[in-house]
Amino acid sequence: MKDLSPNMSHTPTIRQLDEAAINRIAAGEVVERPASAVKELIENALDAGATRIDVDVAQGGKLLIRVTDNGFGIAAGDLPLALSRHATSKIDGSDLLNIHTFGFRGEALPSLGAVGRLKIQSRVSGADPHEIHVEGGEMGPVRPTAHGPGTTVELRDLFFATPARLKFLRSDRAEMQAVSDVVKRCAMAAPSCGFRLTECTEAPRVLFESPAEPGLVADALSARLRRIIGNDFIDNAIAIDAEREGLTLTGFAALPTYSRGAAVAQYFFVNGRPVRDKLLIGALRGAYSDFLSRDRHPAVALYLECAPERVDVNVHPAKSEVRFRDPGLARGLVVSALKHALAEAGHRASSTVSDAALGALRPEPISPRVYQMDRPSRGGIQRSFHAQALVRQEAGFAEMSRDYSAQIVEPVVEDESIEDRPERLPLGAARAQLHENYILAQTERGLVIVDAHAAHERLVYEQLKHQMAENGVAAQALLIPEIVELSAQDTERLLALADQFRNFGLTIEAFGQGAIAVRETPALLGEINARALILDILDELADQGSSSLVQEKLDAILSRVACHGSVRTGRRLRGEEMNALLREMEATPHSGQCNHGRPTYVELAMADIEKLFGRA
């Protein structure tokens, strides 16, 4: 008879593991790499009320990690207890759903002490400083030391007690990058705290530094994000502020035209805690699905706040995942808030598009540089044109000197309406069409170049979506209903959303136990495989908790219809047609980008254009 388990050659005996083995096993969950240790130590410092945190790292954290803060400190009598498993000052254990701190499990410090050489120096207000050493799980005595107010935790030779773990670490450079990312995420979560990250080499260098941001929370957050993500993000982002049934969402979301090639600029925080939550990532993808192609990713920094009882942070030892009591409410808030903010942005496009256009223009070098006088006023231009008119050529210079001297006096002009001066409008007045596609418009600040096909495609698409929302989705009844056999759980999950699917032209009904009947499908989709559609919807429900697959398929059809029904490249437009297109763009949400996330227009400021020609 074969053994019950190929890994055991005899009857197994149950034994109690010693404390050192327990801590090393726990360290495998809590401390995956040096960046994990840095995260745990920074969160402890923030929980201690620190307003300044310094992080020193050597060899990507493998040789040294030192975190110094100016928080409350740890009393000398509590130092040994702080290194015991599941010992914490942050909760009393009576309510694990009412957690207001970053840490609460009491596993980080004993786990670090089990796999490395750990030293803690701390001083509380009004007491003498003390320190304690731990090496491979062996704890030393508490001794007096020299230290200022706060705490310093120094971890050397990470994983020296478990050398096999070192083989799974990446290069020093890659680990250092991971540490830097963790520090920046923690800095984004606490803008009122100053941070500094230093790489300790023969010539130490500061990799990141951000002082505590003063002022109101919104202003401090904006300044901190500007330092970390960059000026371009804040300049091309929309402020988010929404609330629904006790959940509050704030932060910034970038315009669709400010997208990235990878999901590297997506930051989520739940009650101030940096998280990588699958539900929130899915909600973000759904909110931008109508504006970006699948190979582009939005940039956001979103902060979700709710009562601690409504979110469970005790899901993973690293506390990087959360679970909402009502996931549908959280997802719906993110999707609706982002869609509403993007709609309010109107025809706005990111400034990086204009910067890229200017960068593509390479003027010939001008030597020597010719400095011209300041750009003349509108009155000066009118007088200059008048002086050069043919009807004035018979007059001599003496006759012209009185009216056209170097002194320019602005004429008194009666108020003109927008109809008389369309260049005052955001997209200006059409002046020409280039290559039978690009509209050149003049504004008060400069000029605008519009891709007529892309712009009209977006306008038609928005009109089609509006018509579908008003009139509903036409449904095509199947001559023979499609019977799809499923598990009882999947059947129940689909039938619970039957009313939602009916709004999009998909009608399903129960068909006995463990099966559903598909009776109608959206007419726009034509002939489809109903079974494959149902299975795809189930996969999306399992992955994200909700499904927008039918909506996305309908939107894709409308997008194709809009593309074929819009102005084609090569068609010459009359002046009134071009101006009508510009006015409609100004009045239509999302007209700053086409259906695939590309910009529909580029705006160039007059000052930038003059620089191209060497004008001062």
Q: What mean pLDDT comes out for the span 175-203?
A: 94
Q: Are 196 and 206 in contact (CB under 8 A)?
A: yes
Q: Tokens 């009591």 label which residue?
A: 325
Least confident of 221-230, 418-427, 443-452: 418-427
Is residue 348 predicted with pLDDT exceeding 50?
A: yes
Of the pLDDT bands very low, low, confident and very high (cuts 50, 70, 90), residue 406 is very low
Three-class SS of residue 489? Answer: helix
- Please tell me the distance from the alpha carbon of residue 403 to that of residue 383, in angstroms, as a whole number: 9
Q: Tens digits of per-residue pLDDT, 90-129?
A: 544 455 555 656 655 557 788 888 888 999 999 999 899 9
Q: What percent of the chain has pLDDT over 70?
A: 77
Least confident of 59-63, 108-112, 530-534, 545-549: 545-549
Determine the Cα angle at 523 with ends 519 and 524, to 5°.
145
Q: How much is the pLDDT for 278?
A: 85
Q: Which domains does the chain have, with CATH numbers?
A: 19-210 (3.30.565.10), 229-345 (3.30.230.10), 376-414 (no CATH), 427-616 (3.30.1540.20)
Q: Tens digits of per-residue pLDDT, 147-178?
A: 999 999 999 998 888 887 888 888 999 999 99
Q: Are 268 and 155 in contact (CB under 8 A)?
A: no
Q: What mean pLDDT comes out for the span 283-312?
A: 87
Q: How much is the pLDDT for 613?
A: 77
Q: How much is the pLDDT for 80?
A: 87
Nearest residue to 53 (alpha-carbon basis) of 209, 220, 270: 209
Q: Tens digits of per-residue pLDDT, 306-334?
A: 988 888 877 766 667 888 888 889 988 99
Q: How much is the pLDDT for 279?
A: 87
In sequence order, the 6+-apart residues with CB closer than 8 A to the CB of 123 are: 73, 129, 130, 147, 148, 149, 150, 151
Is residue 409 predicted with pLDDT exceeding 50?
A: no
The per-residue pLDDT of the chain, averaged, comes to 80
User: Whats the size of the chain, residue-wise?
Assistant: 616
Of the pLDDT bands very low, low, confident and very high (cuts 50, 70, 90), residue 397 is very low
